[in-house]
Amino acid sequence: MKSVPITEKKTSGDRRHCKWCLKYKPDRCHHCRICNLCVLRMDHHCPWVYNCIGFRNHKYFILLLIYSAIDLLFITITMFESVWWSTRLDVSPALMTSLLFAECFACFLCTVNCLFLGFHGWLTVNAMTTLEFCEKSMKMAGYDSSIYSKGLYENVCAVLGPRPLLWLLPCSLPKGDGLTWS
């Protein structure tokens, strides 16, 4: 694998070092204050999985979003008949309210999750992490792709692995070591 020259350097031109870990800090690496360690291609610290999302587990995070979106969509669609039935028959107001609340909550969660999945899908096809997006949005208004972008297919392969038939399964992790970007 051919490596790309170091692009993230100090203003003096020297390699970056983490001021907390006191170690070399490669490109796309960030220190997590919660985990207290540097994470390769760090996307963010996720409170839902209680871990940092980075090079080694980014695929699992994307799959979590995909699986939960499918599950919430299934719940929303199949529960609609029960809610509709509760308004047509003589059902107690407590049961009807409970079903209606549950359906609204499932719709809300489905919408939020699908929007979150869409954002992370956009980041994936543009070869960006959430931290890189936030840093870039502070610097400029254009949100094209990152300097690490290698085209749509290669960008997706960098997160979901080299085999498209296994993209939706928790196997076939991306190639590489997280230090070099070919």
**Which among 46, 52, 107, 110 is annotated as catalytic?**
46
For 71, phi then psi, to 5°, come to -65, -45
Where would I find the H helices in the chain? 58-88, 93-125, 130-139, 152-160
Residue 37: name the closest of 22, 27, 49, 16 by CA: 22
Identify the CA nearest to 61 among candidates 113, 136, 135. 113
Whether 52 is a known active-site residue: answer: no
Active site residues: 46
